[in-house]
Structure 1
Amino acid sequence: MKVIIIEDEKIASDLLQQMLLEIDASIEIVDKCYDLSSGVKSIKKYEPELIFLDVELPVYSGLQLLDFFNEDDINFKIIFTTASNQHAIQAFEMSAIDYVLKPIQPDKLKQAINKYKEQAIVKSYENLSALTQNIQTPNIKKIVIPVSTGFEILNVKDIIYIKAEGSYTKIYLSNNISYTMSKNLKYFESVFETNKSFVRIHRSYLVNINFITRIIKNDGFYAVFDEATQLPIINDKIEEVIKLIGS
């Protein structure tokens, strides 16, 4: 497996190299670069399968990698190394991009390597594009959903509601398509915490209030999205829902 490390701190770069070789002796570190520009040149020269990419680099951020490649050129996988905050971590997860937090722990690094080996190499352009949008704004803009043929990129604004199904959730879109994700509803509630368009109206439903057409009372309150979709609102949430719709 050919690997390139792009990390501006030499000590951190050397330590990461040592840890990788201890985890898997078959890993070939073909180059170590200390800024994105030299990293781009190295990627084009060596055509690695996997890149460890620091987010915080001098001059250019690691997130600007897309600026130097055409979509068809990105046929490698990336594992970001980052000392990010909670929002950034959620952005990585929603964009289906792998990451390890600094200071890097051997067990977490090993997990990332094993995850890479289990997955087929797929083009990462759309995933990186989604990450760039997600990490630069307080609200997640796109969600990357793994499917049998690769990944689907969903715009958050197109989500009508998310339904809890045990430890999974089902995402319903405005185009009448739905997807299942292996995240619970509480996780999505945390992801959309700063997005005022989403509110938990029931233990089983997180909804986008922009799609609510009316609220009816019939042995309890219900949010109406269309004639076929009416979801219950618990009494404790009705005032919050009305206030959010009004604002």
Structure 2
Amino acid sequence: MGGIMIKILICEDIERDKLHLHQLLDSFLLANKISYKIDYLENFDVGTNLFLEYDLIFLDIELGDYNGIEIASKIRTYNRSSIIIITSSFKKYLIDGYKIEAKRYLIKPIDEKVFNIEMQSVLSTSFKQQYGFFDKKISQYKIHYKDMLYIEFLNRHTIIHFVNNIEKKTTYPLKHWIEKLSNKGFGQPYKSFLVNLDYVSGFSSDGKDIIMNNGEKIPLSKNFKKSFTNQYFANLHNIL
């Protein structure tokens, strides 16, 4: 999974179900060489800001005096990106799961084979689109890697250029982004640029620039040409 770290939140108040789900996740993610961090939600009377940092949320329908669907509805009022997987001992809540855009509905006790099949499906489709990070200094919402076109160092600031033509200025040095985006599909063609390899459409005829899929040209220096070209073709191979 190319160094991606998945942040997972388990919302479950039954200890045996909590441990069983954790074991299923450990087994599946380790077998697939996926880096991850699992947290538990112990207090269900919390603000929904907590949920913004998680990529994947496992949510039991019945959480003591709390209703998992109501919690999920609050999350969905301003957080559309986190993937929610409902867990329940009862099929009667299935329709409610669709209402809050849950990706999967798992009946407890969760069968390992069923779990592995469903997780593989989630990771290979919708989950790939959710990779990103949460940084309150830049945005109150999660920033997805797929939305970042390139990062430019200019006038002692770094500017994130997004695919929708929006720009965000940050106080971070380019070194910060090089470290943060290492193994996440970004390459450095020039000392002041870091680009999303998925949006590189090719190279100029003289080999001095790379061409982004929106037509923009970004310089390609001799010092970075070999390493960048290797990254570009490796990424292209992964896509194909």
Which TM-score band (shorter chain)?
0.3 to 0.5
Higher relative contact order (CA 8 A, sep 6+): 2
TM-score (structure 2 length as normaliser): 0.46
TM-score (structure 1 length as normaliser): 0.45
